[in-house]
Amino acid sequence: MHQLTVVKVGGKIVEDPQSLKTFLKDFSLIAGNKILVHGGGVSATQLAEKLGIKSPMVDGRRITDAETLKVVTMVYAGLVNKNIVAHLQALSLDAVGLTGADMNLIFSIKRPVKDIDYGYVGDVREVNAPVLKELLNQNYVPVIAPITHDGNGQLLNTNADTIAGETAKALAYDFNVRLIYCFDKKGVLLDEKDENSMIQLLTKEEFLQYKEEGIIKDGMIPKLENAFETLASGVKEVILLRASNLNTGEGTYIKWN
């Protein structure tokens, strides 16, 4: 099997010009097939505020009403995605920018209302692995924005960590998949204020314990839940690291047990 690296990068990195330039140079040096999944939450929040649109977050996930959906679609699928694609082209990578609606890439359903109504937020049900495989075999580099669709003409805001995880899982049958979550921390920290408290290896049992104790919380919870789900579905390796350490591999390695 060929190696495939799926990288998810957060909005704080892709929205800072210098950080983005450095990150994409490192990304371009990854050997073999690669896919980039990006966020863009900072820009979306800023634009929503300028437009007078409230954009609340619950457990690291954005509540998306009809007006917020317009904003995140413009930002994620438009400005952020195409900016990344243009930079990758300058680095001689033949990148193609996609949402889940393009080529029926990612089918989702609107999240059911339980305790919280998340609005137009999608839960991934299927990733079109054959399409991605074909693009990869032709040496394209897919750059995926966190917008999916429900098959009935409705776009849905979808967590980028989830998209990265589901994409990695869908391709685990055809590639040796490594999933890397890049963000602004060194890795998973025991003390979020102390970079030296990074956990080098995190098991499922330890994650559940740290979650119970409140050490791991907020947006890190869905990120790690996705990580463990991918390992259970055939992904070979999951790493959480600072974007600047993309090619050194220094970060937190996720292990099932």
**What pLDDT score was predicted for residue 208?**
93
> Rounded distance, CA 257 to CA 253, Å?
12
Maximum Cα interatomic distance, the chain, rounded to a whole number of Å: 50
**What pLDDT score was predicted for residue 177?**
97
Which pTM does this prediction carry? 0.93
Using 50, 70 and 90 to split pLDDT, how confident is the model at 217?
confident
* Range name among 71-85, 100-114, 210-224 with the lowest pLDDT average: 210-224
**What pLDDT score was predicted for residue 45?**
79
* CATH top-level class of 2-183: alpha beta
The DSSP bridge partners found for residue 242 are: 183
Above pLDDT 70, what percent of the chain? Answer: 99
> Rounded distance, CA 180 to CA 251, Å?
10
> Rounded distance, CA 142 to CA 70, Å?
23
Which H or E run includes 184? none
The DSSP bridge partners found for residue 157 are: 121, 147
Mean of the per-residue pLDDT values of the chain: 92
Q: With CA atoms as reference, report the closest residue to 181 among 229, 133, 135.
A: 229
pLDDT digits (tens, 9 = 90+) for 146-178: 999 999 999 999 989 899 999 999 999 999 999
- The residues near 196 (Cβ < 8 Å, ≥ 6 apart) are none
* Domain boundaries of the chain, sorted by first residue: 2-183, 185-257
> If you average pLDDT over each of 15-19, 137-141, 160-164, which comes out highest?
137-141
CA-to-CA separations, 215 to 39, 189, 194, 212, in angstroms, rounded: 24, 8, 13, 8
pLDDT digits (tens, 9 = 90+) for 46-100: 888 888 888 777 766 678 999 999 999 999 999 999 999 999 999 999 999 999 9
**What pLDDT score was predicted for residue 60?**
62
Per the model's pLDDT, the better-predicted residue between 222 and 110 turns out to be 110
CA-to-CA separations, 187 to 23, 58, 120, 158, 254, in angstroms, rounded: 16, 22, 30, 23, 11
Using 50, 70 and 90 to split pLDDT, how confident is the model at 131?
very high
**What pLDDT score was predicted for residue 59?**
65
